[in-house]
Structure 1
């Protein structure tokens, strides 16, 4: 694995943790402001919510790693379309995993998917995913050609 690929994997790991943190904080704030439960379904067990969040986080992580390791540093660009597509994929994954999990519990998956589709929780999952992937691509695009640790503006590469 080349250095730029190692760098991309490390940054994508931190970005995935950021994404998870944004989802947890966002869900908490949305739930507090709207006085609404994230999963308002009595048949949903205690595992469904974490799985519904975990799968989109893994998906976004995999999409970031793919973007980072398949694109050489000199070809890195800010990937706006890729970020928007990743956000839609994360929101869709959140809904599909929720519907499938509720179907396993014996509930109505179509009604649950419909309620998730219009919920602010699915939208925030997608928006946060797009923001994180866009930020990740921006970080990779600005690091092209750099070697070693980041430097302060008053430092130079020639300093020992």
Structure 2
């Protein structure tokens, strides 16, 4: 693994942790502001929401790794289109995961479709897409700005020869 791939991988892991933390914070703040539950359907069960969030977090990690590891540093650009695709993909995957879990849990495909229909305009699902877009865009900006740097940052006392 080359240095830029190591840098991109470590940065992707930190960006994914940031995305997960922002997701939890956004869900909490939206829930407080709107007086709504993230999963309004009580029959869905207690694991549907966390599973939906976990699947989206893994999706964002895979998208970040695909962007960072496969692109050499001299070809890194701010990837607005890729970030939009990541945000839209996270939004759709959030809905599909919830619909599949509800349909599987209840044994009724219509219940899953109704759940997805209720969640499609939810501020929680929209927050997932927006946060995935913002984190992916920030990741691409950091990768594009890292071009030309070599090695780790040095402390002032380590730069005696400069």
In proportion to residue count, which structure has more helix?
Answer: 2
User: Cα RMSD (Å) of the superposition?
Assistant: 1.8
SS at structure 1 position matched to 2:41: coil
Between the aligned partners of 2:73 and 2:100, the Cα distance in structure 1 is: 39
Between the aligned partners of 1:87 and 1:158, the Cα distance in structure 2 is: 45
The normalised TM-score by structure 1 is 0.93
- 1:112 is aligned, of 108, 111, 115, to 115
Q: Is the 8 A contact 1:43 1:105 kept in 2?
A: no
- What's the offset of the Cα at 1:140? 0.2
SS at structure 2 position matched to 1:37: coil
Q: Which runs of 4+ in 1 moved over 3 A?
A: 154-160
Q: Mind listing any 5+ residue stretches in structure 2 that lack a counterpart?
A: none
1:19 is aligned to 2:19: yes
Between the aligned partners of 1:114 and 1:98, the Cα distance in structure 2 is: 11
1:50 is aligned to 2:50: yes
Q: Mind listing any 5+ residue stretches in structure 1 that lack a counterpart?
A: none
Aligned length in residues: 159
Q: Is the 8 A contact 1:76 1:140 kept in 2?
A: yes
Q: Residue in 2 aligned with 1:129?
A: 132
Between the aligned partners of 2:118 and 2:88, the Cα distance in structure 1 is: 17
